[in-house]
Structure 1
Amino acid sequence: RIEASTENGRAVIDGIVLAELASELADAPDPDRAKAVSARNRMLGIVTKTTLDTVMAQVEMVCGPYRIVSLMSAEAAVELGLEPGVSAVASIKSTNVVVERP
């Protein structure tokens, strides 16, 4: 169960709490929900973890039943504000994953 507050008549859920739930769901995905995907998918998801060093960043996301990991420059990850709880789009073509903010 996720705790939500109400703001202007809308339920508000903390992004980090939502990211933790998404990670838990990704660890035990429902095989009936998994579908074949094409090579040029754009999947909306939630960033669950970002690991940065001086040059590179590893960004982990959960997009529905899928766990997506992207490697990019640390500068790009910081510029995009990729941190746990934010929504992002993973664009997948072949073995490359491009992450962008919606």
Structure 2
Amino acid sequence: MADVEVRIDAKALRRAASVAARPQIESATSRICGTANALGAPFRTGLYHRNHQSPAVGNTQPSYGADVETHGGVPVGIVHTGNYAAMRDNAQNNTLLKSIG
């Protein structure tokens, strides 16, 4: 029986895997962001006056954003709060956690 030796180029394997995985990560990140925006749609922040003066601000809908960045050659999907209403919604309802599914 012949001796066989297999050598794997880890850097090349990582590059190939990251190129193949990026579209799937972008798709999943977009799906989670869309779900978060849909779950947060009914939430509104309170209406208030800055420094007790008009005009009133608030009563806004949450806005969640998504990015796919490359860290160490590996694509990473990030869904984040895009405004104050999203921060409040996420803090009160765990919207981002629920959006993962």
TM beyond 0.5: no
Which protein shows a greater Rg?
2
TM-score range, shorter chain: under 0.3
Which has more helix, going by share of residues? 2
